Every structure is written in structure tokens, then in C-alpha cells.
């Protein structure tokens, strides 16, 4: 079988800056040992996130030139609305400037003290928007989803028994959610069978079912590859079926929309949609632009078409698998099987001499920057741990996510990343821990300041 190649040609390039280790030591010290605070110009290969970092296509750039910037009722919104409805099928489409804005509006409607909102795993902004209202964000991913070595094909699935027990317990559950793919758990997919079961349980208790759809196309591809009965269906057909079981969705189009900005909240319920639009006008803008320019809406509508292309999805997943294989061949432990948008390194086992309270995953992202100018992101005790009365309580896992921006880096870049991490592995016992010296009450990982122990 021929090698899988990039299903595109490169016709525009951007230079990247090379730095010395001595320069990077000074840069990291000034950034208080938090890669979020490093200037992008000082990063050689940026794997911090796949959100908003995609390379747009020639067709998207062309669509930008047709943007209608009318304040109300623009034709660009009409095109965007029609494309979202074509794929997702929901009655009401409410644009927002990014996914967390959609989450903020949704949680303002359904959240509140004493309420519990279940999901497979809430990611950082979703969890923060739930907890900001006083509600509890509850993770109900299957046990295999917590095991980094499990090869279960759908480790993003919700534990149906736990979900049913929660609903029968009488706790205040206003909605149920599921994230596709499951970012916190390693970019792991959710099966169609699980989506159906979640919908069935929630419907039996008359609770709306909302899908966090950030990487819906990648999830559809995994269903096509791994779930019986879907091999002959297109990713678009699979996505349409998946959303047919739900009552709404939130989405950051900065992921599987190939957008540098943008998102939406989509709902079927007229009353919820009216409340959402009222809040949108307060915080984002008129309901037909929602914090976006008409040119953004045009580019996003085009991106939603492109992301469902089978050649692209095959290449996308193969790229992640390629990096994962190079790391595991070295003996480095990662979340298995590889996900759709990132490789998740198990920093707890990489730095097994460092306790959770010294933030081994944060140590890894710092050492990665020092060694090669590469920026990754910690998904461990800095992001999901808690400081209670000055005492750190670690997260369940210490992961480092290396998220590959879409259509940005080449195979040579990926080889370089693997080589740098391989060299880090050889000297891993020399790494020292970190401590937090300043933090915010919510989403502390974005702005936390740290220092060596």
C-alpha cells in the first residue's frame, strides 16, 4: 500500500525562529516556567494546542473575500447557518467567537448551585464554566478511559450505568453532555452505540443531551474505522447520525472547522434558544454575527466542508499515529491507542522520581522547550489539580499533550519532535520538580507562575 501523504500542496510559508538553549533558559525563566507565557516568536514548533492554529485553505481565503459585513441578517450568516444545519441538524444556530463563549451562555441557562452536569470528561474551559455557576462538573468516562495502556477502541465512552445511577439518585441534573473526541482522556473517540445509549438514558429522564463537538470529524473517522456497520458510510453521514440523537451542541470551530476563530451553540429547544440569543446580544453581538465578522463565517462554512474529506482525515490520524509510534519504539509511555489530534505522553511514568505535587507534566513541557524550542501543554496537576488551604491535591493523571495544528507541520518537523523527546528520555532522571508561586482561582494553568523546587 502506498505511503499516506499530505492531501494538499503548500503555497504559502512562514519562517520560524531558531534559538539557542541559553536563550531558551532565559526566556523560560522570564515566563515564570509556564510555556503559556512564552512569546510565540520564541517557539520553534508550537504544539501547545490545535485550537485556532490550523492553516486555512486557498478556498477559505477566497471565501473571506466574499464576506458580508452587514450587522444584521448578512448572507454570510445564512451560508454558515445552512452548513451547520446540514451537518449537525439542529434548528437554532447561534454563532459565537469561540467554543467557551457557547459554553458560557449554555451554563448561564442551565447551571447553578446544587446542580450536576455529567460528561465523559469535561475539558478545562467547560469545567470552569460549569463550576463558575456553582454547579458540579462530573466525569463519568468508562474505566478503560482512565487506563493509559488500555487498547479499548472507544475509550471516550460514558459509563452508562453510572449515568443512569446519577439520574435516578434525584440530584439536580439539568442536561447531560459528552465530548467528541474526549480531549482530557487522550483524544479518545466515542462510539455511535454509546451516543445512542446516552441519548436513551437522558431521554428517559427528560434531560436534554448536548454534545461538545470540537473534534466531531475525527470522531466520525474513528467510528468509520472501528465500529461495525459504519465502514461504508462517509464521515458526513456518520456525523449526521451522531447529532441526530442529541438536542444540541457546543462547538469551537477553531478545531474541526479549520478556523482561526469562531464557534457556535446549536439547539432544538425554542425556549432555550431564545434565552441563549438574549445572552448572546449582551456578550457577543447580534444573533446573526455573534462576535464574528462575516468573512469569518464564510471561512468557517468552507472549513466544515473540508474537514469531512476522507483523504484529509486519513492523513490527520496517520500523522498522530506516526509520532506515537516513534515515541513508543523508544519505550516512552503514552495514552494508547493514539488519539485523533494529539499524542498524550504519560509524564508520571516519564519522570517517575517526581511526585504529583512537583508537577511532573509541567516539568516535561519546560524541559521540552529547553531541549528543542518545542511548546506542548500540561494536562495534569497544574491544569486539573486543586490548591486547598495552601495544600496541593494532584490530578488523577499527569499527561502532556502534543497537539498537532491542522495542515501546518511536515514529517520532518514531527521527526524533530520525536528526536528531541528521545534525547530527553535518556537524561530524564536529572529533571527537577516545580512549585506554584502564583495562581488564579479559575483556569490557573493559563497564567500560573512557577519556580524550581
pLDDT at residue 396 in the model: 79
pLDDT at residue 28 in the model: 97
Residue 15 lies in a domain: no
Residue 106 lies in a domain: yes
Residue the block writes with cell 441557562: 109
pLDDT at 395 over 80: no
Residue 5 lies in a domain: no
Residue 209 lies in a domain: yes
Q: Kindly report the length of the chain.
A: 453
**Is residue 429 reached through a cis peptide bond, with omega within 30 degrees of 0 on the bond before it?**
no
Cell numbers that stand for 284 in this block = 457577543
Question: Domain check: are 186 and 280 in the same one?
Answer: yes
pLDDT at 2 over 80: no
Q: How far apart are CA 173 and CA 208, in angstroms?
A: 10
pLDDT at residue 389 in the model: 59
Question: Among 271, 306, 341, which residue terminates a domain?
Answer: 306
Res. 3 pLDDT band, cuts 50 70 90: confident
Determine the average pLDDT of the residues in 212-225: 97
Helix (H, G, I), strand (E, B) or coil at 255: coil
Residue 130 lies in a domain: yes
pLDDT at residue 170 in the model: 82
pLDDT at 1 over 90: no
Question: Domain check: are 101 and 38 in the same one?
Answer: no
Residue 112 lies in a domain: yes
Q: How far apart are CA 266 and CA 188, in angstroms?
A: 23
422 neighbors 430 (Cβ within 8 angstroms): no
- Picking from 375, 329, 341, the residue whose alpha carbon sits closest to that of residue 33 is 375
pLDDT at residue 77 in the model: 97
Q: What share of the chain in percent tops pLDDT 90?
A: 90
Question: Domain check: are 286 and 347 in the same one?
Answer: no
Q: How far apart are CA 357 and CA 364, in angstroms?
A: 14
Q: How far apart are CA 399 and CA 397, in angstroms?
A: 6
Q: What share of the chain in percent tops pLDDT 70?
A: 98
pLDDT tens figures, 7-45 = 999 999 999 999 999 999 999 999 999 999 999 999 999
pLDDT at residue 390 in the model: 65
Whichever domain contains 391, its CATH number is 3.90.1150.10
Cell numbers that stand for 324 in this block = 506515537
Q: How far apart are CA 84 and CA 243, in angstroms?
A: 11
- Helix extents (H) in 294-392: 294-306, 310-329, 347-350, 360-372, 381-384
Question: Domain check: are 260 and 328 in the same one?
Answer: no
Residue 296 lies in a domain: yes
CA 19 to chain CA mean position, Å: 29
pLDDT tens figures, 340-378 = 999 999 999 999 999 988 999 999 999 999 999 999 999
- Picking from 217, 243, 225, 219, the residue whose alpha carbon sits closest to that of residue 307 is 217
pLDDT at residue 438 in the model: 87
Question: Domain check: are 319 and 299 in the same one?
Answer: no
Question: Domain check: are 282 and 383 in the same one?
Answer: no
Question: Domain check: are 284 and 328 in the same one?
Answer: no
Question: Domain check: are 251 and 382 in the same one?
Answer: no
Question: Among 306, 325, 347, which residue terminates a domain?
Answer: 306
Which domain does 416 fall in, by range? 21-50+309-452
**Is residue 337 reached through a cis peptide bond, with omega within 30 degrees of 0 on the bond before it?**
yes
Question: Among 277, 306, 335, which residue terminates a domain?
Answer: 306
pLDDT at 388 over 70: no
Question: Domain check: are 34 and 93 in the same one?
Answer: no
pLDDT tens figures, 261-301 = 999 999 999 999 999 999 999 999 999 999 999 999 999 99
Residue 11 lies in a domain: no
Q: How buried is residue 184: exposed, middle or buried, by Cβ count under 10 Å (0-12/13-18/19+)?
A: buried
pLDDT at residue 286 in the model: 94
> Which of left, alpha, beta for 329 (phi over 0: left; psi -120 to 50: alpha)?
alpha
User: Average pLDDT over the chain, rounded to whole?
Assistant: 95
pLDDT tens figures, 164-176 = 999 999 889 999 9
* Total domains, the chain: 2
pLDDT at 385 over 80: no
pLDDT at 75 over 90: yes
Question: Domain check: are 45 and 67 in the same one?
Answer: no
Question: Domain check: are 436 and 332 in the same one?
Answer: yes
Question: Domain check: are 250 and 125 in the same one?
Answer: yes
Determine the average pLDDT of the residues in 218-225: 98
pLDDT tens figures, 121-149 = 998 889 999 999 999 999 999 999 999 99
pLDDT tens figures, 396-409 = 789 999 999 999 99
- Picking from 239, 255, 137, 96, the residue whose alpha carbon sits closest to that of residue 187 is 255
pLDDT at 394 over 70: no
Whichever domain contains 265, its CATH number is 3.40.640.10
pLDDT at 187 over 70: yes
394 neighbors 356 (Cβ within 8 angstroms): yes
Amino acid at each position: 500500500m502506498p505511503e499516506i501523504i499530505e492531501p494538499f500542496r503548500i503555497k504559502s510559508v512562514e519562517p520560524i525562529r531558531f534559538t539557542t538553549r541559553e536563550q531558551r533558559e532565559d526566556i523560560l525563566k522570564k515566563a515564570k516556567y509556564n510555556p503559556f507565557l512564552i512569546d510565540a516568536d520564541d517557539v520553534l514548533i508550537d504544539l501547545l494546542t490545535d485550537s485556532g492554529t490550523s492553516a486555512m485553505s486557498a478556498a477559505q481565503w477566497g471565501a473571506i473575500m466574499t464576506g458580508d459585513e452587514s450587522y444584521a441578517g448578512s448572507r454570510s450568516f445564512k451560508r454558515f447557518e445552512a452548513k451547520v444545519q446540514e451537518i449537525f441538524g439542529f434548528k437554532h444556530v447561534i454563532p459565537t467567537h469561540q467554543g467557551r463563549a457557547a459554553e458560557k451562555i449554555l451554563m448561564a441557562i442551565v447551571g447553578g448551585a446544587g446542580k450536576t452536569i455529567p460528561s465523559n470528561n469535561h475539558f478545562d474551559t467547560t469545567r470552569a464554566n460549569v463550576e463558575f455557576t456553582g454547579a458540579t462538573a462530573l466525569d463519568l468516562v468508562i474505566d478503560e478511559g482512565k487506563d493509559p495502556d488500555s487498547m479499548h477502541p472507544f475509550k471516550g465512552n460514558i459509563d452508562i450505568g453510572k449515568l443512569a445511577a446519577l439520574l435516578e439518585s434525584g440530584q439536580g441534573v439539568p442536561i447531560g453532555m459528552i465530548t467528541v473526541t474526549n480531549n482530557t482522556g487522550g483524544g479518545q473517540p466515542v462510539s455511535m452505540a454509546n451516543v445512542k445509549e446516552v441519548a436513551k438514558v437522558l431521554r428517559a429522564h427528560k434531560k436534554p443531551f448536548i454534545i461538545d463537538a470540537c473534534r466531531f470529524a475525527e470522531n466520525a473517522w474513528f467510528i468509520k474505522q472501528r465500529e461495525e456497520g459504519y465502514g461504508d458510510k462517509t464521515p458526513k453521514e456518520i456525523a449526521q447520525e451522531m447529532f441526530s440523537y442529541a438536542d444540541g451542541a457546543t462547538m469551537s470551530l477553531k478545531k474541526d472547522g479549520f478556523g482561526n476563530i469562531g464557534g457556535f451553540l446549536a439547539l432544538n429547544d425554542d425556549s432555550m434558544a431564545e434565552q441563549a440569543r438574549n445572552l448572546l446580544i449582551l456578550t457577543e453581538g447580534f444573533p446573526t454575527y455573534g462576535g464574528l465578522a462575516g468573512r469569518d463565517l464564510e471561512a468557517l462554512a468552507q472549513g466544515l466542508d473540508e474537514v469531512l474529506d476522507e483523504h484529509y482525515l486519513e492523513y490527520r490520524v496517520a500523522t498522530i499515529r506516526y509520532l506515537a509510534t516513534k515515541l513508543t519504539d523508544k519505550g516512552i509511555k503514552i495514552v494508547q491507542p493514539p488519539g485523533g489530534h494529539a499524542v498524550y505522553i504519560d509524564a508520571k511514568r516519564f519522570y517517575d522520581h517526581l511526585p504529583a505535587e512537583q508537577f511532573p507534566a509541567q516539568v516535561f513541557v519546560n524541559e521540552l522547550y529547553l531541549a528543542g524550542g518545542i511548546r506542548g501543554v500540561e494536562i495534569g496537576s497544574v491544569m486539573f489539580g486543586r490548591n486547598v488551604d495552601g495544600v496541593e491535591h494532584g490530578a488523577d493523571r499527569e499527561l502532556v499533550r502534543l497537539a498537532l495544528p491542522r495542515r501546518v507541520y511536515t514529517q520532518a518537523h514531527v521527526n524533530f519532535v520525536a528526536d528531541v523527546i528521545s534525547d530527553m528520555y535518556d537524561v530524564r532522571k536529572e529533571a527537577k520538580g516545580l512549585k506554584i508561586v502564583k495562581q488564579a482561582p479559575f483556569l490557573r494553568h493559563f497564567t500560573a507562575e512557577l519556580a524550581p523546587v
